[in-house]
Chain A
Amino acid sequence: MFSPLVLAAEKGFDYGDMLFYMVAFVLLMWLVKIFAWKPVTKMMNDRATKIADDIDSAEKSRADAETLAAQRQDALSNSHQEAATIVADAKDAGSKQREQIITNAQTDAQKLREAASADIEQQRQDALVSARKDVADLSIEIASKIIHKQLNADDQTALIDSYIEGLGKDDQTR
């Protein structure tokens, strides 16, 4: 098993090979470091960082999306409520307006009725007044016609006298 080793020892131990291997290995390690190890491990670390960042940002955007969805849900339910309020308000306003209109109409009707009855009363008064006047005129005419026919000189004198007498009494009392 050790024969190559013993053989080597007989010829002088292969320090040269050992030295050559060590130099080659250190040199190889250095070359690997420059050409592959550094760029690849750097890229692997960068990628790990990037993936971690991506996961974080994905987490964040998911949370954002959830917040937005919640906000939208709130807004939706709020808008339902708002719509209900608006409809209720409109109903209220409508009924109030209706009441108002009815009241106005009633007031107007009342006023019209009052005006109409006042007119009627006025016309009745006017008619009454004019009728009275007519009756007076008519009666005076009738009276004058009667008086004209029946009044003679004596009677006329007596009438004038009584009238003057009456005037005198009226002055005294006044």
Chain B
Amino acid sequence: MDSFQFLGLTFHTANIISITIAFILVFAFIFFLSRKISMKPTGGQNILEWVIDFTNGIVRGQLPGRDGSQLGLFAFTLFLFVFFANQLGLFLQVAVNGVDFVKSPTADPVITLTMAMVTLALAHFLGVIKFGFGGYVSNSYLKPFAALLPINLVEEFTNLLTLALRLYGNIFAGETLLKLIGSLAFSHGLPTMIVALPLEIAWQGFSVFIGAIQAYVFVTLSTVYISRKVSAEE
């Protein structure tokens, strides 16, 4: 069962399960690391604080001051979710009769487009909140001069597409190559297994790296887009 209908909407089983698993992983991660919060940080609290410092650093790099401090939670959650979603498909892929059940949710363009859309919607929303609608329009589309309006309009769409498809492309390519190496391993018995195993290990390791980098890039670009909407352009 590839997808099912509910309330007139189409749901993909693989995406629903994978998002839920990523959700549970992120929640378990923050839940078990935040059990003992003390003035002198120990163990899990150190990891958690390091990640929070890391994402706060990304936000502060783009948005120093009060605007940035409001986005810390968003960046933190987004980073953890994208990171765990990217890694999920590397360790666990369940497919029954050619139908996926568990994979990286970020290996689906619909999910990454949704992520990018949420981010950019937030950016536009914060822009309107900060400058009012008129100020938002002039700041986002008529600067540095009004003649750039068409380019600025196009840029909004390219932002959405590049943000989403960069993440999707990286993770989808990683998973596809993993599957290809996997099928190579089982194609001609033992010899191909021996050849494919180190390849698979190497590619998995590299994909872990790519997944982390892409999570970082996604969060960084998200804050860049938000900062461009909420800070006045010179």
Residues of A at under 8 Å CB distance from B? 1-2, 4-5, 8, 11-22, 24-25, 27-29, 31-33, 35-37, 39-41, 43-44, 46-47, 50
B77 at the interface (CB under 8 A from A): yes
B73 at the interface (CB under 8 A from A): yes
Residues of B at under 8 Å CB distance from A? 3, 6, 9-12, 15-16, 19-20, 23, 26-27, 30-31, 33-34, 37-39, 41, 45, 48-49, 52, 72-74, 76-78, 80-81, 105, 108-111, 113-115, 117-118, 165, 169
Would you mind naming 8 contact pairs between A and B with Cβ atoms under 8 Å apart?
A: A8-B110, A12-B10, A13-B10, A15-B9, A31-B30, A32-B26, A32-B76, A43-B38
Cα–Cα distance between A15 and B11 once the two chains are bound (Å):
7
Please state if A36 and B31 are interface contacts (CB–CB under 8 Å). yes
Q: Out of A18, A40, A44, which one reaches B34, CB within 8 Å? A: A40
Please state if A35 and B30 are interface contacts (CB–CB under 8 Å). yes
- Interfacial chain B residues near A14, Cβ < 8 Å: 3, 10-12, 15, 110
Q: Out of A17, A27, A41, A47, which one reaches B52, CB within 8 Å? A: A41
Please state if B16 and A33 are interface contacts (CB–CB under 8 Å). no
Please state if A21 and B30 are interface contacts (CB–CB under 8 Å). no
- Interfacial chain B residues near A29, Cβ < 8 Å: 73-74, 77
Please state if B16 and A17 are interface contacts (CB–CB under 8 Å). yes
Cα–Cα distance between A43 and B45 once the two chains are bound (Å):
10
Q: Which residue of A has the minimal Cβ distance to B3?
A: A11
- Interfacial chain A residues near B27, Cβ < 8 Å: 28, 31-32, 35
Whole-angstrom distance from the CB of B143 to the nearest CB of chain A? 30
Per DSSP, are chain B's interface residues mostly helix, strand or loop, or mixed?
A: helix
Please state if B23 and A44 are interface contacts (CB–CB under 8 Å). no
Cα–Cα distance between A29 and B77 once the two chains are bound (Å):
6
Please state if A41 and B105 are interface contacts (CB–CB under 8 Å). no
Please state if B108 and A4 are interface contacts (CB–CB under 8 Å). yes
- Interfacial chain A residues near B80, Cβ < 8 Å: 32
Whole-angstrom distance from the CB of B91 to the nearest CB of chain A? 20
Please state if A17 and B11 are interface contacts (CB–CB under 8 Å). yes
Closest 4 CB pairs of A and B: A16-B11, A16-B9, A36-B30, A36-B34
- Interfacial chain B residues near A19, Cβ < 8 Å: 9
Please state if B109 and A35 are interface contacts (CB–CB under 8 Å). no
Q: Taking A24-B23, A43-B38 as contacts, is the C-beta distance between A33 and B11 under 8 angstroms?
A: no
Q: Which residue of B has the minimal Cβ distance to A46?
A: B39
Q: Out of A11, A21, A35, which one reaches B111, CB within 8 Å? A: A21
Q: Out of B23, B33, B113, which one reaches A36, CB within 8 Å? A: B33
Whole-angstrom distance from the CB of A139 to the nearest CB of chain B? 131
Cα–Cα distance between A8 and B9 once the two chains are bound (Å):
12
Cα–Cα distance between A53 and B3 once the two chains are bound (Å):
58
- Interfacial chain B residues near A36, Cβ < 8 Å: 30-31, 33-34, 48
Cα–Cα distance between A149 and B214 once the two chains are bound (Å):
175
Q: Out of A2, A22, A40, which one reaches B48, CB within 8 Å? A: A40
Please state if B11 and A21 are interface contacts (CB–CB under 8 Å). no
Please state if A39 and B37 are interface contacts (CB–CB under 8 Å). yes
Whole-angstrom distance from the CB of B79 to the nearest CB of chain A? 11
Please state if A21 and B10 are interface contacts (CB–CB under 8 Å). no
Whole-angstrom distance from the CB of B189 to the nearest CB of chain A? 32
Whole-angstrom distance from the CB of A11 to the nearest CB of chain B? 7
- Interfacial chain A residues near B72, Cβ < 8 Å: 37, 41
